[in-house]
Structure 1
Amino acid sequence: MLAMAPLAGAALSACGTSGPGGSGGGGGGDGKASMWYLSGQPNEKIKGDNIKAWNEANPDSTIGVTYFQNDAYKTKIKTAIGAGQAPTIIYSWGGGILASYAAADQVVDLTDWFAQNADVKNSVLPATFGAATVDGKIYAYPNENAALILFYYNKKLFDQVGAQPPTTYAELQALVETFKGAGIAPIALAGQSRWTSMMWLEYFFDRIGGPEVFQAIFDGTSGAWSNPDSIKALQATQDLVKSGAFIKGFESITADSNADQALIYTDKAAMMLHGSWVYSGIKNDAADFVSAGNLGWFAFPAVEGGKGDVKNVAGNPAQYMAISSKASQEQQDIAKKYFADKENGIFSEKVIDAYIASGQVPIAANIEDKLAASGDAEFLQFVYSAVQDAPSFVQSWDQALSPTQAEALLSNIDQLFSLSITPEQFAQNMDATIGQ
């Protein structure tokens, strides 16, 4: 049994260039050990600086890193693991995908290692280990940042129409009509990437039916997707599509290109539902827009008559690094050394400070003072508090579910947003995947 989402009372992605794969657990980059990582700034630079510092300090234990775009990575890593060609250090979001790796004996059991290195385990927030744990065993090191899904909005455009952030679904629907009437796209969406559309379902399911609805799906309960509240959530999603809430042509926009983010800071769209990592991306690409105070944010609104707490959140508690069981013993030892090193390792103080400076919330323990001192304190403390105070933190569905279910989910989401299937057909299709 996978011990993870929903995380009740949780304490606190990423989600360039790509390089070639390699062989025998050492794929990609130059080094005795290897890692594949996501391209895109600012995290690509943070990781590059970290690996450079590590290699300079550890010339006999070097790590080579290769970068891939998000969607390309998800495909590449599954193929590589299936062929026994994974890099030494496997980037993951935990959950059902990681559980499938563990079931196939493709990743190293780190339970005893963490028991022997309590200082490493205690350096990150305890709740983040849930998505790294399968049948009571830990298979990955949680690190990097809390990835909360939230709304962003363009304050200039809101001021232009005299609007305030919505606190209910009815207010959101009214705003859609207001912005359409002003000739402004209400909501940016990178629909081609599919997982960005999934965020809408995660929140509608929660706000309408509460976290128990997805918990039943996660637990493999027969017919769980056909729960009446599930159908209501699916219908609410299609109602937004039919109302013209999303920018025209959203089906061809990709998240990897950051085109959806650009719609916000170029005044083309008023709102966007996306991950907390997007703040650092917009800050990197449009620093003046952020420094001028034009970027705002708010929690997903309540749905009238819904059962879900408005404080519930969705996203990913952390990012997760596993170690390939196909790597050599030397490579595995290098990875563990990299995990444990406080000076130049994966989650050193320099790395934590770099994440905060970029506008992200690391999952390191005891960093409240660092967040408060940041120039982005308002946003960082919003995210930190939202996750700390959340009665439920549901992990992103495409990571929580098995690989088979996750692919079926994304395919059906694509059809749901294109209006080519009904909510009932969506539920029927997904019910057929339960247990796979």
Structure 2
Amino acid sequence: MLGATAGLSALTLGACGTSGPGGTGGGGGGAGASYWSVSGEPNETIYGDSVTAFNEGDAGQVEVTFFQNDAYKQKIRTAIGAGEAPTIIYGWGGGGLRTYAEESQVEDVTAWLEQESDYKSRFVESVWDAATVDDKIYALPQGATQPIILFQNTKVLGDIGAEAPETWEQLLDVIEKAHSAGVAPISLAGQSRWTSMMWLEYLLDRIGGPDVFARIAAGDSEAWLDDSVIAMGEKVKELLEVSAFVDGFESMAADSNTDQALMWTDQAALMLHGGWTFGGMKASGGDFVPSGRLGYGPFPTIDGGKGELTNLVGNPCNYLSISAAASDEEKEVAKAFLKDGAMSDQVAADLIASGSAPVIVGQEEALAASEDADYLQWVYSSIQEAPAFTQSWDQALQPTEAETLLVNIEQLFLGQVTPEQFAENMAAGKGA
């Protein structure tokens, strides 16, 4: 879910002369594999550098093309469905991966991983669940762990006389004091819809605990009618009534990074967003991160709710799959890149330097030595200590249901459906 400033065909790196998605071509290494990924710094540079380094070897050539996040999700579904997917497919695991696996559109890499046990054991064990469909593995982990975090502008909070909220009442206090001081309480790029979804994910967890969505993800559509889902919608309604979100949030898109800019320019007090935005704010926010103005913490608890303060939502990491439509030669190049290039020791070091915690084991010493040690160690310990880590809803659900969800989320945050209508629509699989 990285933001971006680049366009649809933003940047291509690697071998020249491929014959298009899934096509063969390449430079000095011979065979070629195509690779689509999501743009946005710092990961775009890190992943691009990993391709460049791999292409300097003799295992083949990889050509990577970066796309804006929201556009990519539609483009990759269309390409896979048309049999025109790139050799290497960037994704989020979960329900979308299940759909591709059930349609035999991505490669089963279980047997290959059994032969490459040293490679598999490099990764934190928890990342494999979202890569697995019916006990078979169809994707390999990439990048850093990505919990959703309540980011804070500590200067703004101090100026308005508020503290980082750990309860719903404290959150409402921040909203009230921010309005009195003339700053935005909460930055939100609501046009992207999945950014608003983050609020629902935590609200449902804090009210009903993680089991409610676990039932939904397992296919129990009636779980959408649970009382905690209605209560979740009521909390959104309450936030809208007190104008919790920045003016014009409905027309702000995450790909523009405007929501992050409001934080680093001291125009907003809070922002609920993925851990990947830390690196973006560090890279683009001037002295915002080095000055200590960026704070971070858990989502508040709700009085009487079942969810614990330490429960997390978000993405264990990102994933790379191999297109089943690729040639054997292309698949071999892809496997070589996935094994030796995509998550090399250099990539892990670059991720840490950018402010991310890679999903590779044995990184404790490197994290402690990082200039972002406090943040990275907090993320690392939060993941270890979390009683529950719920995968982002639009990734846990299959694509059709995920799109229905996003349509209804947009309507809920625009005040065009009631909490009850939201729940009924989702239970019925109906777009608003």
For the aligned pair, the TM-score class normalised by the smaller chain equals over 0.9
**Following the alignment from structure 1 to structure 2, what is the Cα–Cα distance between the partners of residues 225 and 28?**
48
1:360 aligns with 2:356: yes
CA deviation vs aligned residue, 1:378-407 (integer Å, no higher than 9, x gap): 110111111111111000000100111000
Which whole-Å CA distance do the structure 2 matches of 1:22 and 1:430 have between them?
A: 42
Q: Distance in 2 between matches of 1:22 and 1:33?
A: 10
C-alpha contact 2:24 2:32 (8 A) present in aligned 1: no
Aligned position for 2:42: 42
Task: Report if aligned partners of 1:94, 1:140 keep a CA contact under 8 Å in 2.
Answer: yes
Question: Is 1:411 matched with 2:407?
Answer: yes
Q: CA deviation at 1:33?
A: 0.4
Residue 26 in structure 1 maps to residue 14 in structure 2: no
Quick check: 1:310 aligned with 2:314?
no
Deviations 1:82-130, CA, capped at 9 Å, x for gaps = 0000000000100000000001100000000111100110001011000
Deviation per CA, 1:108-154: give whole Å up to 9, x if none.
00000111100110001011000000000000001211011011111
TM-score by length of 1: 0.93
From the superposition, tell whether residues 22 and 247 of structure 1 become closer, same or farther in structure 2 (CA, over 3 Å).
farther
d(CA) in 2 for partners of 1:391, 1:404 = 29
Q: 1:129 maps to what in 2? A: 128
**CA-to-aligned-CA distance 1:314-338 (integer Å, 9 cap, x gap):** 0000110000000000000111111
1:57 alignment partner, SS class: coil
Q: Is the 8 A contact 1:28 1:35 kept in 2?
A: no
The answer to whether structure 1 residue 105 and structure 2 residue 104 are counterparts is: yes
What is the CA-CA distance between 1:18 and the residue it aligns to? Answer: 3.4
Name the SS of the counterpart of 1:52 in structure 2: helix
Listed one character per residue, the Cα deviations across residues 228-287 of structure 1 (whole Å, up to 9, x for unaligned) are: 011001110121012100001000101111110000011111110001011100000013
Q: Which has the higher contact order (CA 8 A, sep 6+)?
A: 1
Task: Report the equivalent of 1:205.
Answer: 204
1:369 corresponding residue in structure 2: 365
Distance 1:307 1:19, change over 3 A: same
Distance 1:370 1:99, change over 3 A: same
Question: How much does 1:292 deviate?
Answer: 1.0
- Of the three residues 356, 374, 378, the one matched with 2:374 is 378
Equivalent residues, number: 418
CA distance 1:245–1:285, change in 2 (3 Å): same
The aligned residue for residue 227 of structure 1 is: 226
* Counterpart Cα distance in 2 of 1:340 and 1:184: 48
Q: Is the 8 A contact 2:93 2:131 kept in 1?
A: yes
Matching residue's letter, 1:406:
A
Following the alignment from structure 1 to structure 2, what is the Cα–Cα distance between the partners of residues 333 and 27? 12
8 Å CA contact retained: 1:124, 1:143: no
Instruction: Determine the structure 1 residue equivalent to 2:266.
Output: 267
Matches within 5 A, 1:395-434: 395-433=391-429
Distance in 2, Cα, partners of 1:307 & 1:130 = 24
User: Where do residues 16-415 of structure 1 align in structure 2 (5 Å cutoff)?
Assistant: 16-19=6-9, 23=20, 25-26=22-23, 32-58=32-58, 61-341=60-340, 345-415=341-411
Matched position secondary structure for 1:287: coil
Whether 2:10 is the aligned partner of 1:14: answer no
**TM-score, normalised on structure 2?**
0.94
Q: Cα RMSD (Å) of the superposition?
A: 1.7
8 A Cα contact 1:28 1:87, kept in partner: no
1:24–1:327 Cα contact (<8 Å) kept: no
Following superposition, the deviation at residue 432 of structure 1 comes to 1.1
Greater alpha carbon shift after TM alignment, 191-200 vs 331-340:
331-340
Identity within the alignment, %: 50
Moved segments of 4+, more than 3 Å: 20-24, 26-31
Distance 1:42-1:161 versus aligned 2 partners, 3 A rule: same
Segment drifting more, 17-26 vs 68-77 = 17-26
Q: Structure 1 residues 358 and 234 mapped into 2: Cα distance closer, same or farther (>3 Å)? A: same
Asked if the contact 1:128/1:317 (under 8 Å) is kept, the reply is yes
Structure 2 CA distance for aligned equivalents of residues 150 and 27 of structure 1? 41
The 2-side partners of 1:22 and 1:223 are apart by 47
Instruction: Tell me whether 360-369 or 30-39 shows the greater mean CA deviation.
Output: 30-39
